[in-house]
Amino acid sequence: MSIDLSHFDLVAENDIVVVPVDKLVDVATYLRGQGFEYFVYCCAAHYPASESEPDRALVEYRLRRLPAEDVALRLWIPSSDACPSLAGLWQAADWQEREQFDLVGVRFAGHPDLRRIMLPEDWPGHPLRRDYAIDTRHFPWR
Amino acid sequence: MMGLLAAFAALWVSAKNLFRPMTTTPLPWKGRRDLPERYRTSFALVHDEHGDEACIGCKMCEKICPSQIITVVPGGRANSEKTGKPRGWCKDFTLDLNACIHCELCIQVCPADAIVMLREQDTPGFSREDLFLSMEKLYANEKKAPSWGTGARLIGMQEPPKPPKPEAPQAEAPKAPAEGATS
Amino acid sequence: MILGNPWVHGGVVGFVVVNFLMVTFAWSVWFERKFAGRMQNRPGPTEVGPFGLLQPIADLLKLLQKQDIVPDGADRALFNLAPPIGAILILASAAALPFGPGLVAADLDVGVLFALSITSLMVIPVWMAGWASNNKYALLGAMRAAAQAVSFEVPLLLSAMVPIVLAGSFSIADIVAAQSGYAWFALWPPGPGLVAFVLFFLTSLAEANRIPFDIPEAESELVAGVTTEYTGMKFGLFYLAEYVHTLVASLLATVLFLGGWEGPFVDGPHWMIAKALGLYAFIFWVRWTLLRYRADQFMALCWKVLVPTSLATLVAAALWKHLS
Amino acid sequence: MAVGHGHLPEPVAALIRARAAVPNPHLDVESYDPEGDLLVLNLGPQHPSTHGVLRVKLYLDGEVCIKAVPYLGYLHRGVEKLCEKLTYVQITPIVDKNDYVAAFSNELAINMGFETLLGVEPPPRAQHIRALGAEMQRVASHLLWIGTFGLDMGGALGGGATLFMHTFRERESILDCFEVLTGSRFHYNTLQVGGCRHDIPAGWETLVRQTFATISARIEEYESFVRTNAIFLARTRGVGVVDAELALSLGVSGPVLRASGVDYDLRRDRPYGLYRELKVNVATASAGDCQARFEVRLAEMRESIRLVNLLLDGVPEGPINVLKAVKLPGTVKPKPGIGYAAIESPRGELGTWVVADGSDKPYRCKIRGPSLHALSLLPYLAPGQNLSDIIVTLGSLDPIMGEVDR
């Protein structure tokens, strides 16, 4: 019951669509129009630079058409780049993207209010990055 | 106004509750409630059936503890005075109850059933040192009522029973220090 | 005789009355805690003395030992003055309350008006405290208290006018005398008297900031309202003023509507006190059962329901008086 | 709208038009009120009714709110970071503390996330224990909510406290059942990857049955305490109305969403575990106000009590664990992959998004807490409301700050 995204040259595989960064807003807008009203989550994971890949982050948006039709938009964002924000389409993306920005350090372009949400404003670094606090006495803390 | 009249239904309920029995339990110095078997609070180290300290210093509990509050200093292998058989020993064992989350994982992984939790209602202290359990305090706690859970019982409950090997945990015990030493 | 001297008489009776009010306040707190505890299926205070009976003394000692904090930026003079003024005012309002024939500190011709006007002055220390605390919650609480006092004065006085009209006097002694022979105004004349009693009771609850009308305190919204910044005995004085206010309101309702000291067997102060304490206990029952109104709903209740009803009651009472 | 929309389908354009009617949480106070006449009130973090630690900066005009800005993070304990540092078997007792009034749901959600990665399914007896625990926890959580909701409206020294004590009395008896099952009242650590850690002890079924019989007999009391009480109705009816579309767009789930008329429950619509065989009646209400949320939660409690009694009848015999019991920290090692599993916790969709990299620790583990989404309604609901109503609205959303901040 995958959603048909062939006109974006994208294939949904087990509800998961790997979306190029520049197509995200168009795909999301299309999905919003298709009745994917329910915003489940926005998650990000940081991947440090390796031999083959630069420093990058995985961002996943999960959207749902009630009752149970999911689509997960998966993006790879290089650290030098910013992820387009979906806060204009789903209000939930506002706080979710703030949280991911705060913890993982992914920047979201076009977010109306991109501040830290969990940590204090003057907190150094983003704790869920893999390179966070590796040179302090807190590492390896266990 | 009608609302204030309807409020009398609520007044009736509260009046009814005036005659219900008390549900609170008495203060600790006036009596205790019945504690269930699996109740778990503080910790104790126990002696085995021969009278030796049961802990074999395998550091399993130290590794599994999510809040990293257990420190085990293994004491190497030596012959037991009681049984004459070689086994591992524990030189020092400390447990910082201040940060304990009472998850029972250390009990579960203990191959020698050496660490148990207590079935005691209150374990407060006046300072942080009071809640820092040294080896002496842990062995002194052995006299208090232990909880039901031990490593063998928890593992036995979680795994389907194997009828021919009821003594399995005790049989495994001597092997454990070797694993601890190699890792 | 020395007791014939009005100054000595007033002094002695006043001393007794003030002590009665204070002691009743102290052990009513114990009673309330026990009562609420039973209502919530728990024992209430048990540790200090038998059945926790010495709890009020322990509370007092605790309050006296507390650090006395005046917040930064507070208006020190007003802040310190507000609690004693509240306590003094509310104790003064009991001066005109008779407990039996002649058992009154000051037998005023306008006793009802005196008691009601002094209790309505209670808004002044509350506002002082709210303004001087330099705290937004206290200020919001004081604003609510002022608005509440101003609007609830109207139905309170109008419903208090009913027994005055029926008795034809402002003197409390005369009002009680007019109810003799079990012609209590709450029962007779049927209708206006009872309605006026209920109204008087409700508005007294509001005046004394009791649930369901305790919006100036409203601890879930305004932390503790005007008393947010108060500690120790200053807080204790506010607490005292609130409880004594409730007690005075119960006593007033007793003399105005329930025949004062009249009762079976022997008339006397014990009947007066028993009736007042019955009302007082009812207030606790209501307090520990009901939820709180919102400020605007509560104003709407006052102006749209209570004021018209009390006016109609007053007119009905006047007609009754005129026709009979 | 800073997002570049190439072409707007009609539903999206209609959505953007509808947004104009919704209060703007990003309202610029400086330009709204250039003279600075508004009273800025910091509600919390030390406030009796901010459910743990939440700070809401309120811009008040008199007592009417113009803008509300929640500041989170006072209870941020870095659970997601901890999850990266602990092995799969050690995480369960840690996530207990997220939604600290419904610990069982947390354990269930995180372990289901890990089981999705591993591709294992707990045995039937474990599934029964899980469903039973989840439903019992739902009743306990809603009981606590009713009590604290009463506190929000009646204060700590009033009828609210009495209601609170009464619901706590019942909740304590449920916790007693959990205590007999797991040995702990609050943070059980009773589930593990692949099954359960504690088997049902002898006599437990009787205890649970008695407990829930008492509770279902006493639910009517709470109703007469609040539901037919005109003060309660005056305080809740029409207060904090949540629009269904806004709620969906904010990712709100659970009773708050169902009270807005969206008939959606993960237990029925995306069934997991035992719910694939179990028919769950989903309670909904259409008004979307605080009263509707109360009604929905009350109905859910009744349904959960029914389910508990149903489940107690059919607990099958057998093992409670599909994997071997935990004896070492690193025994669970899923293959690399990304998995998401969600359950219907008492507050809504509680999900776990796990990235595994083949080691014994999750590479990244996100907990999708329903409380965060419910709380994000507050900036939309608060403007135009009285201060008292904001407290009631906040209470009715039932945010648990441990889950919001994690």
pLDDT at B56: 85
Which residues in B lie closer than 8 A to residue D166 (C-beta atoms)? 17
D99: left (phi over 0), alpha (psi -120 to 50) or beta: beta
pLDDT at B123: 67
Q: In chain C, where are the structural domains located?
A: 2-323
CATH of the domain at A74: 3.30.460.80
- D64 and D119, same structural domain? no
Q: State how far residue B142 is from chain D, nearest Cα, in angstroms.
A: 19
Q: How far is CA C270 from CA C177, C264, C283, D241, in A?
A: 17, 11, 20, 53
CATH of the domain at B141: 3.30.70.3270
Q: Nearest CB to C39: which of B1, B7, B17?
A: B17
Predicted confidence pLDDT, tens digits, chain C (324 residues): 566 777 787 788 788 888 888 888 888 888 888 888 888 888 888 888 788 888 888 888 888 888 888 888 888 888 888 889 988 888 888 888 887 777 777 777 788 888 888 888 888 888 888 888 888 888 888 888 888 888 888 888 888 888 888 888 888 877 877 777 777 777 777 777 788 888 888 888 887 777 677 777 777 777 777 888 888 888 888 888 888 888 888 888 888 888 777 777 777 778 888 888 888 888 888 888 878 888 888 888 888 888 888 888 888 888 888 887
- D105 and D65, same structural domain? no
Answer whether residue A138 shows pLDDT above 70: no
Q: Which domain does A61 fall in, by range?
A: 6-109
Element spanning A76, H or E: strand A69-78
- D66 and D88, same structural domain? no
Predicted confidence pLDDT, tens digits, chain B (183 residues): 555 666 677 777 777 777 777 777 767 677 777 788 888 888 888 888 887 788 888 888 888 888 888 888 888 788 877 777 888 888 888 888 888 888 888 888 888 888 888 888 766 788 888 888 888 888 888 888 888 888 788 887 777 655 554 444 444 444 334 333 333
Interface of D with C in 156-175 (CB under 8 A): 156-162, 165-166, 169
pLDDT at B146: 84
pLDDT at B28: 67
pLDDT at B81: 79
- As averages over each run of 10 residues, the pLDDT of chain D (406 residues) reads 50 65 72 76 79 82 84 86 85 87 89 88 88 90 88 75 85 89 87 85 88 86 73 82 86 89 87 86 86 88 90 85 78 85 89 88 88 89 85 87 85
pLDDT at B175: 39
Sequence-distant (6+) residues with CB within 8 A of D126 are D194, D195, D196, D319, D320, D321, D322
- D263 and D200, same structural domain? yes
Q: Which domain does D62 fall in, by range?
A: 26-71
pLDDT at D87: 87
Instruction: Locate B141 and state its tokens.
Output: 């706690």
pLDDT at B179: 38
- D167 and D43, same structural domain? no
- Phi then psi for D28, rounded to 5 degrees? -85, 105
Answer whether residue A135 shows pLDDT above 70: no
Q: Nearest CB to D183: which of B9, B38, B105?
A: B38
Q: Over the stretch C81-118, which tens digit does the pLDDT of each residue have?
A: 888 998 888 888 888 888 777 777 777 778 888 888 88
Residue A124 lies in a domain: no
Residue A1 lies in a domain: no
Peptide bond into D370 cis (omega under 30): no
Residue B55 lies in a domain: yes
Number of domains in chain A: 1
Number of domains in chain D: 2
Q: Output DSSP code: residue B118.
A: B
- D154 and D46, same structural domain? no
Q: Average model confidence (pLDDT) for chain D? A: 84
Residue A26 lies in a domain: yes
Say yes or no for a CB contact (<8 Å) between D269 and A85.
no
Residue D14 lies in a domain: no
- D123 and D237, same structural domain? yes
pLDDT at B69: 86
Burial class (CB in 10 A: 0-12, 13-18, 19+), D336: exposed
Q: Output DSSP code: residue C301.
A: I
CATH of the domain at D368: 1.10.645.10
Q: State how far residue D126 is from chain C, nearest Cα, in angstroms.
A: 36
Residue A131 lies in a domain: no
Q: Over the stretch A104-115, which tens digit does the pLDDT of each residue have?
A: 888 888 888 888
Say yes or no for a CB contact (<8 Å) between B109 and D199.
no
Number of domains in chain B: 1
pLDDT at B177: 40
Residue D165 lies in a domain: yes
Residue B44 lies in a domain: yes
- D392 and D335, same structural domain? yes
Cross-strand bridge partners of residue D61: D64
- Phi then psi for A62, rounded to 5 degrees? -115, 125
- D316 and D190, same structural domain? yes
Residue D42 lies in a domain: yes
- Banded model confidence at residue A32, pLDDT cuts 50, 70, 90: confident
Q: Over the stretch D329-341, which tens digit does the pLDDT of each residue have?
A: 777 888 888 888 8
pTM of structure: 0.86
Element spanning B90, H or E: strand B86-96
pLDDT at C314: 87
Name subunits touching C (3+ CB pairs < 8 A): B, D
In terms of Cα–Cα distance, which of C318, C317, C169, C163 is closest to C254?
A: C163
Residue A34 lies in a domain: yes
pLDDT at A139: 47
Instruction: Locate C129 and state its tokens.
Output: 């405290």
Instruction: Give the percent of chain D with pLDDT over 90.
Output: 2
- Banded model confidence at residue A141, pLDDT cuts 50, 70, 90: very low
pLDDT at C168: 82
3-state secondary structure chain D: CCCCCCCCCHHHHHHHHHHCCCCCCCCCHHHHCCCCCCEEEEECCCCCCCCCCCEEEEEEECCEEEEEEEECCCCCCCHHHHHHHCCHHHHHHHHCCCCCCCHHHHHHHHHHHHHHHHCCCCCHHHHHHHHHHHHHHHHHHHHHHHHHHHHHHHCCCCHHHHHHHHHHHHHHHHHHHHHHHHCCCCCCCCEECCEECCCCCCCHHHHHHHHHHHHHHHHHHHHHHHHCCHHHHHHHCCCCCCCHHHHHHCCCCCHHHHHCCCCCCHHHHCCCHHHHCCCCCCCCCCCCCHHHHHHHHHHHHHHHHHHHHHHHHCCCCCCCECCCCCCCCCCCCCCCEEEEEEEEECCEEEEEEEEECCCCCEEEEEEECHHHHHHCCHHHHCCCCEHHHHHHHHHHHCCCHHHHHC
Q: Which domain does B45 fall in, by range?
A: 32-160+167-182
- Check if the interface score ipTM surpasses 0.90: no
Interface of C with D in 124-163 (CB under 8 A): 136-137, 140
Relative to beta strand A69-78, strand A56-65 is antiparallel
Q: Over the stretch A117-126, which tens digit does the pLDDT of each residue have?
A: 888 888 888 8
The answer to whether C and A touch (≥3 CB pairs < 8 Å) is no
Residue A91 lies in a domain: yes
- D241 and D276, same structural domain? yes
Q: Tell me, yes or no, if C294 comes closer than 8 A to chain B by beta carbon.
A: no
Say yes or no for a CB contact (<8 Å) between C42 and B24.
yes
